[in-house]
Amino acid sequence: MRKFNIPHTFELKSIIELFALWIKQGTLKVNSDWNKDLKIKFTVQDPCNIARKIESDHIVNDLRFVIKTVVGEENFIDMVPNRSNNFCCGGGGGALQAGHTEQRRAYGKIKFDQIIETGADYVITPCHNCHAQIEDMCHHYGGSYHTVHLWTIICLAMGILGENERTYLGPDLADHGLEKEDA
Amino acid sequence: MTDSIALDELTCELKNQVASRVPDANLDLCLTCGACTGGCPASGQYDMDPRKFLRMLLLGMDEEIVKNPWAWVCTMCGRCVTACPMKINIPKFIFNVRAAWPREKRPKGIRGSCDQHIRSGNAMGVPKEDFVFTIEDVAEEIKEEQPDFKGLNITADRPGAHMVLNQNSREPVTEPDEMSPLWKVLHLTGVDWTYPTVMWGGENYCMFLADDEGWRYIMEEFAHHIEHNIKAKVVVNTE
């Protein structure tokens, strides 16, 4: 919008800012009780576009607030470096469709190693390109982590994640919170 | 005796072109320190790195630069310019190298997605009717199967909605069930929102393609639709 000077009166916002705001206001009622005993570990990929490229850490700080609220602070492990100093996963800039697959995966090896270093079971990727790239690298380099969207974990924590909405969850959470038919 | 390099005779067309488009790119200020390269995950791919690429630009090696596929391996993530003590805007340099490629030679996948977006409003090329059908279909299923969400109201182009949600077009096509968790959150928080059906794809491959004209067209059509038809106050991307 700024680049082309397109006139507009609407405001552009990230859904992550809104999640954080709604949790603080109490309109989004979610907590980490579900993970108190399970202690499943999560890390997060900071998308370059909402971290380094906006020259402010406010959205990625909101992102951590939301994630800690839904998985528990003790179950969140940050990669190093992170936020505006993060490494790009290698899926951005159109790389997933640019055709240089071998180079794209070599690029992402840094990210893959960072993820493994955290020991986390799940990587939350609040960006489609990051999601596709990080999942692809898990298969390619033989990782065992799962790559999930943020909304999946929010709904899981709220106990409202439907049966069809669990494609990216691992076996540990595939049935979590679903009503047992014979119960 | 060897001759010294006669710098006066250098012609740096590409450099001049980039400098005119990005006046604050600071291309001439490179100290060759290599901070960009040290922190760049694309360093070494195709035997290239940001410092070398910039050096080639400054030496007028235009042909070699535009032939090197490295411009498409770099993701323009911006880590280099953040690390650079002289604030040289390498990502914008890369963007303009991409733009210097003949359009038909740029990666087919990115070009195809950009063309689809211009034609149909999203990179996957989904017709508007199919998009609306898919969201209604998924919403119906949830209303039937999940009693807590009987009142779920998913709309498209509803005038006066406070918020508009951009949807990455991969979901309605390949994994429609990834849309509904977010719907449920929005439902429970009582947000007044709708989907746009003009340029509704949250992605923008014309930007990656360095197709300024396509990029601008998508943004203008989208902004016009939001301003004049839906009149929403807030635009939110799902990522």
Residue B201, strand partner residues: B167
Residue B34 sits in the same domain as residue B132: no
Residues near B135 by beta carbon (within 8 Å), at least 6 away in sequence: B154, B156, B172, B179, B195
* Torsion angle in degrees (nearest 10) through CA of B171, A6, B75, A47: -60
Mean pLDDT, range A6-14, rounded to an integer:
94
Name beta bridge partners: A11.
B234
Domain assignment present for residue A84? The answer is: yes
Residue A173 lies in a domain: no
Query: Is residue A181 predicted with pLDDT exceeding 70?
Result: no
The pLDDT averaged over each successive group of 10 residues in chain B (239 residues) is: 73 96 96 98 98 97 97 98 98 98 97 97 95 97 94 97 95 94 97 97 95 96 97 93
Using an 8 Å Cβ cutoff, are B48 and B56 in contact?
A: no
Question: Residue A97 domain-assigned?
Answer: yes
Touching check for A110 and chain B: CB below 8 Å? yes
What's the number of domains chain A is made of? 1
Could you tell me which of A121, A35, A158 has the C-alpha nearest to residue B182? A158
8 Å CB contact between B82 and B179: no
What residue numbers bound the domain in which A161 lies? 31-165
Same domain, B162 and B225: yes
Query: Please, which pLDDT band fits residue A180 given cuts at 50, 70 and 90?
Result: low
The percent helix, strand, coil of chain B (3-state, each to 5) is 55, 5, 35
Question: Is A21's Cβ below 8 Å from some Cβ in B?
Answer: no
Nearest to A12 among B184, B189, B235 (CB): B235
Residues of B in contact with A54 (CB under 8 A): none
Q: What is the ipTM of this complex?
A: 0.95
CA distance linking residue A131 with residue A136, whole number of Å: 8
* Contact call for residues B137 and B180 (beta carbons, < 8 A): no
- Mark which residues 40-59 of A lie under 8 Å from B by CB: 47-48, 50, 52-53
Residues A95/A107, Cβ–Cβ less than 8 Å: yes
In a domain? residue B2: no
A4, A99, A106 ranked by CB distance to B45: nearest: A106
Q: List the structure tokens of A25.
A: 């206001």
Q: Is residue A151 part of a domain?
A: yes
Decide if A26 touches B, using CB distance below 8 A: no
Average pLDDT over residues A57-63: 97
Chains A and B form CB pairs within 8 A to the count of 176
Q: Quick one: B206 and B118 in the same domain?
A: yes
* pLDDT reported for residue B239: 80
What pLDDT score does A183 carry? 40
Range of B83's domain?
Answer: 7-101
Instruction: Could you list the beta-strand ranges (E) of chain A.
Output: 11-14, 42-44, 122-124, 146-148
B79 and B118 in a common domain: no
Between residues A69 and B4, which one has the greater pLDDT?
A: A69
Q: Is residue A182 part of a domain?
A: no
Number of domains in chain B: 2
Q: What CA–CA distance (Å, rounded) separates B109 from A117?
A: 33
A90 and B CB contact within 8 Å? yes
Whether A115 is in a domain gets the answer yes
H helix or E strand, kind and range, residue A88: none
B40 DSSP assignment:
-
Q: Is B1 a domain residue?
A: no
CATH of the domain at A37: 3.40.50
Q: Which residue has the tokens 């992550």?
A: A16
Peptide bond into A81 cis (omega under 30): yes
Is A20 part of any domain?
no
Record: contact B181-A165, CB cut-off 8 A = yes
Q: Note whether residue B187 is domain-resident.
A: yes
